[in-house]
Amino acid sequence: MNANPNPRTRRPLIAANWKMHKTVAEARAFLEAFLPLVRDVQGAEIAIAPPFTALQTVGELLRDTGIALAAQDVFYEPQGAYTGEISPPMLRELGCRYVIVGHSERRQLFREDDALVRRKLEAVFEHGLVPILCVGETLEERRAGRTEAVLERQLRAAVEGLSAEWVGELVVAYEPVWAIGTGETASPQDAEAGAKFLRSWIRELFGAGTAERVRVQYGGSVKPENARELMTENVDGALVGGASLDPQKFAGIVKEAAAAVSIS
Ligand code: 13P
């Protein structure tokens, strides 16, 4: 555990990814319980990514709370004949600030490849939203010693050639696939190694100033019990699945993470 708050210039982002959970009524009930619990939290930014169907209600309930609204996915065209898809302007209209792009569940279950993730990420930036780009290796890739190669491939495909200004705004979520929903959290050392690698790669391509601005989250079985120790030097927050569905647990994670850092 970090005895002393870890100094940094980046404000950590603790984001809830509800995945395909919560009806509108359940989302309301969550916020009724959650908002009072985090009223006094400082030093960390909070975001909630409900399913599309609850975005409007959650957006209204988050107004004036300082908590950001996020979407779990997006399509890259602004409008058109794309049955079932949601565009960046639609998300903006509802007050979204962040959009999760390239989550491993989308990559694996819905066959999203690096090229599609790239198009989505660019569209998100073009419409004034901030992408939370998910990257991470599978267990097989880790065992084969390919973690860094996979992270580099995913990150390069997503951001190479973009302006440093955009890239500086980016949030990258390092989510090892083997740690998602499994209860098996990466060790703080593994989370730090992944985050550090991602940041140094951004430094090489876009320079030190940009690399210092990018926030790198860790995701994968984050809970109140491990949130504090995971906020290592290069880890600026968390992307939380299962534990974000429970107001007490998510508030606990937010508080632990905020207590772990001091912003300079
Ligand atoms: P869990 O916190 O349930 O492991 O999910 C992590 C995740 O995929 C967040 O996007």
Among candidate residues 17, 12, 52, the one with its CA nearest the CA of residue 239: 17
pLDDT band at 3 (very low <50, low <70, confident <90, very high): very low
In this predicted structure, what is the pLDDT of residue 4?
A: 55
Token pair of 234 as six digits: 């290069």
Q: 171 pLDDT exceeds 50?
A: yes
Whole-number mean pLDDT of the chain? 96
If you average pLDDT over residues 21-46, what whole number do you get?
Answer: 97
Q: 1 pLDDT exceeds 50?
A: no
In this predicted structure, what is the pLDDT of residue 9?
A: 85
Q: What is the pLDDT of residues 99-133, one digit of tens each?
A: 999 999 999 999 999 999 999 999 999 999 999 99
What residue's CA is closest to ligand 1, atom 5? 241
Whether residue 181 contacts residue 158, with contact meaning beta carbons closer than 8 Å, is answered with no
Q: 264 pLDDT exceeds 80?
A: no
Q: 2 pLDDT exceeds 60?
A: no
Q: What is the pLDDT of residues 56-67, one digit of tens each?
A: 999 999 999 999
Q: Report how far ligand 1's centroid is from the alpha carbon of 219 (Å).
A: 6
CATH class for the domain made up of 13-262: alpha beta
- Choosing from 240, 244, 254 the residue with most ligand 1 atoms within 8 A of its CB, the one to mutate for a pocket test is 240
The terminus-to-terminus CA distance of the chain in angstroms comes to 21
Rounded to two decimals, what is the model's pTM? 0.96
State the catalytic residues: 103, 175
In this predicted structure, what is the pLDDT of residue 168?
A: 97
Tell me how far apart the alpha carbons of residues 182 and 178 are, in angstroms, rounded to a whole number: 7
- Choosing from 221, 230, 245, 254 the residue with most ligand 1 atoms within 8 A of its CB, the one to mutate for a pocket test is 221
In this predicted structure, what is the pLDDT of residue 40?
A: 93
| Ligand 1, CB within 6 Å, residue ranges | 17, 103, 175, 180-181, 219-222, 239-243
63 CB contacts (<8 Å, ≥6 apart)? 95
Q: What is the pLDDT of residues 214-232, one digit of tens each?
A: 999 999 999 999 999 999 9
Which atom of ligand 1 is closest in space to residue 103's alpha carbon? 10
If you average pLDDT over residues 223-242, what whole number do you get?
Answer: 97
Q: How far is CA 83 from CA 15, 91, 116, 221, in A?
A: 28, 16, 17, 33
